[in-house]
Chain A
């Protein structure tokens, strides 16, 4: 059974550019959540999607956006990149509906220079 797949694994971008990260959940999982991990702030919640609907959004600026497709794959986009956006971005997949185990991908390491 394939796990959660995140692409790309590594990215280097310049300030002001935009970036799109992709997450393919475990087959059958309908819920996808995104988290940002930095040494200073730890793991912080970005968004949660279930059946193509954003159900929750964390306390991040509007430059951070996401979407989920009908096959449950999800993308997140960060526009006008800032140095502080450098982080490990992690995607979690679960069956959804609460009370279910979350499984994480290996993450995308984004470096903004």
Chain B
């Protein structure tokens, strides 16, 4: 059974810091891994999608890496801003389906 874990559960940093969010999964038979952000009471916004054959993806100040063999992904946020404050979720897509298994999320607060 696929299990997805995110560490840390919460993080509070001053503006400008570079930070790393971690995601680990137990079964390497995945199609892809996707990172989302969620603002309070809102839906999920897709940030980055990494296919199982890829090692990393970049979008602006965000960089996500994937190591399928070790069951790990990291989301790197450069030069954090207060607007980055949100909950960040990683999800793995199960092979042969469109089903996503989500981690428990990292709640990020960036203060001025």
Contacts and interface: CB of A to CB of B under 8 A. Distances in A.
Contacts of A42: 102-105
A90 B98 contact: no
Contact of B44 (A45, A48, A90, A98): A90
A99 interface: yes
Interface in A30-71: 31, 33, 35, 42-43, 45, 48, 50, 55-56
Contact of B34 (A33, A45, A102): A102
B51 interface: yes
Interface stretch (B15-23, B61-69, B89-97): B89-97
A97 B36 CA distance: 20
A11 to B, nearest CB: 14
Interface residues of B, number: 27
Contact of A45 (B36, B101, B105): B101
Interface of B: 31-32, 34, 36, 41-46, 49, 51-52, 89, 91, 93, 95-105
23 contacts: A6-B43, A43-B91, A45-B99, A56-B97, A56-B99, A92-B44, A92-B100, A94-B98, A96-B98, A97-B98, A98-B93, A99-B31, A99-B32, A99-B51, A101-B46, A101-B49, A102-B46, A102-B91, A102-B98, A104-B44, A104-B45, A104-B46, A107-B42
